[in-house]
Amino acid sequence: MQHKITLIPGDGIGYEVSLAATRCIEACGVGIQWDKALAGQDALEKTGELLPQSALDSIKKNKVALKGPLTTPIATGFRSVNVAIRQALDLFACVRPAKSYPGVKSRFKDIDLVIIRENSEDLYAGIEFQEGKPETQSLIAQIQKSTNKSIRYDSGISIKPISKFASERIVRFAFQYALENKRKKITCVHKANIMKFTDGLFLEVARRVAGEFAGRIIFEEAIVDNMAMQLVQKPHNYDVLVLPNLYGDIISDLCAGLIGGLGVAPGANIGAQMAVFEAVHGSAPKYQGKNKANPCAMILSGVLMLRHIQENKAADNLEEAVRQVIAEGKSVTYDLKPDPLDPSAVGTAQMADAIINKLKKI
C-alpha cells in the first residue's frame, strides 16, 4: 500500500536528521510518497511566513506528517512555531516514549515509560498579560475585587485554563493507548493539592475515566514534585504517565534524561484526525550542516509513525536495526560514544547508513 505523508524537514539540524530518517524508513520497503512542505526558518526565508497555510493544508490532506525540529526566531510573533502547529491542527495528545537502548550512556537500564501530555491548554495556551499594560492592570483590579486577594501591580500574568473537555479527552486517550499497547498502569500527575480548580479538575476527571477501565488498567495518582523525585529514584515503578501540558513538558525531558538524553527521545503529536511525528529535541543550530547530530530520535519518531500507519513489521525491523547499531557502539554519533571526543564517532549520514545496512540483515 502506498502512503502519502507530509514531510517538513525542519531547520538547524532538521534537514540532516530528517534525511537520515526518511532514508531509513524507505529502506524498510514501505511504499511512501513524501509530500514536502516548508515551515520554520526555511519557510520564512522562502515565503516570508514562518508557518505557511500550505504546510497545514498538506497535513490536513495527508493526515500524517513527519516533522524535523523548527527554530522559532525571536520577534516573529510566534512563541513557538511547533506549538502553533499543534494548536492549529488540534493535536491534543503528545506521546513521548522513554525507552532504554543498551549502549546509550545513562544512569538506568531497562526503562520503558510512556509520557502522555495534554497538548492544547494549561499555561501553554499562550494567554498572557504583560506587566504594566492597561489590560493587565484592569485584570489585577478585577481579580482583587472578585477574590479579595491582591496581586502586585507590577506583575505579569499567565492564564492556566484546564477544561473538563480536554482533560477527559487526554485521559481517555491515555487509557485507550494503554489498552492497545498492553500497558498495565497509568499514573495521573498533578498538583491538585494547590491548584484545586485546574489540576483538581484534571484529577477529578481522571478518576472518573479510570473507573471505566477498572480491572483492566491500574490507576494511581502522584503529585508532580514527588513524581519528579520518584522518577529519578525508582523509574521502574512507573508505566504510562498522563499529565497536563506544562508538567508533561518538564517530566518528559526528565524522562529523556533517564534514558540517556534527547538524542534517543522520539515523540508524536496526535489528534482525532491527524498526527505529526517529531523528535523531542530542537534544531540545535550550533550543529547545523556539520553532519554531527544524532539521527536516532528522528528515526525512532519514524518508527512511531510506521506503527501509526499500521506498518508494524517495518516499525519493528527499523527499531531493531537502531537498537543493534547503538548496542554495537561502532557506527554511532559523538554523543553515543563513552567519550564525546572519540575520533571514531561517525556523522549523521553514516549512522543512517549503518542502520540501513543492519536492516538488510534483519
Active site members: 124, 191, 225, 249
Return all residues near 350 (Cβ < 8 A) that are at least 6 apart. 291, 331
By CB under 6 A, residue 99 contacts ligand NAI: no
Question: Positive or negative CA dihedral for 124, 251, 113, 244?
Answer: negative
Q: How far is the CB of 291 from ligand NAI (least distance, A)?
A: 11
By CB under 6 A, residue 262 contacts ligand NAI: yes
Q: How far is the CB of 95 from ligand NAI (least distance, A)?
A: 14
Q: How far is the CB of 17 from ligand NAI (least distance, A)?
A: 6
SS3 call for 306: helix
In the list 52, 200, 257, 282, the residue contacting ligand NAI (rule: CB under 6 A) is: 282
In the list 335, 336, 351, 355, the residue contacting ligand NAI (rule: CB under 6 A) is: 335
Beta bridge partners of 241: 115, 187
Q: How many chain residues touch ligand NAI (CB under 6 A)? A: 21
Backbone angles phi, psi at 52, to 5 degrees: -65, 145
**Residues 143, 148, 153, 156, Cα dihedral to 10°:** -40
In the list 235, 248, 260, 263, the residue contacting ligand NAI (rule: CB under 6 A) is: 263
Q: DSSP strand E in the chain: where?
A: 2-8, 31-36, 64-67, 93-99, 112-118, 128-129, 157-158, 185-190, 218-223, 240-243, 266-270, 275-279
Q: Can you tell me which residue has the cell 503528545?
A: 94
> Which amino acid, residue 324?
Q
Among residues 272, 121, 269, the alpha carbon closest in space to that of 205 is found at: 121
By CB under 6 A, residue 294 contacts ligand NAI: yes
Q: Which CB atom, from 88 or from 139, has the smaller least distance to ligand NAI?
A: 88
In the list 21, 30, 56, 70, the residue contacting ligand NAI (rule: CB under 6 A) is: 70
**Residues 65, 67, 71, 75, Cα dihedral to 10°:** 0
By CB under 6 A, residue 82 contacts ligand NAI: yes
Q: How far is CA 66 from the centre of its chain?
A: 12
Q: Please choose, out of 113-121, 171-179, 197-205, 291-299, the segment that lies near ligand NAI by the rule CB under 6 A.
A: 291-299
Q: How far is CA 278 from the centre of its chain?
A: 7
Backbone angles phi, psi at 19, to 5 degrees: -65, -45
In the list 89, 293, 306, 356, the residue contacting ligand NAI (rule: CB under 6 A) is: 293
Q: Spell out, one character per residue from 216 to 235, where the chain touches ligand NAI: x when CB under 6 A holds, - when not.
A: --------------------
In the list 5, 20, 27, 69, the residue contacting ligand NAI (rule: CB under 6 A) is: 69
Q: Which CB atom, from 244 or from 261, has the smaller least distance to ligand NAI?
A: 261
Alpha-carbon span 249 to 80, nearest angstrom:
14
By CB under 6 A, residue 284 contacts ligand NAI: yes
Q: Please choose, out of 63-71, 178-186, 203-211, 251-259, the segment that lies near ligand NAI by the rule CB under 6 A.
A: 63-71
By CB under 6 A, residue 324 contacts ligand NAI: no
Q: How far is the CB of 283 from ligand NAI (least distance, A)?
A: 4
Name the site residues for ligand NAI (rule: CB under 6 A).
13, 17, 69-72, 80, 82, 262-263, 278, 281-284, 286-287, 293-294, 297, 335
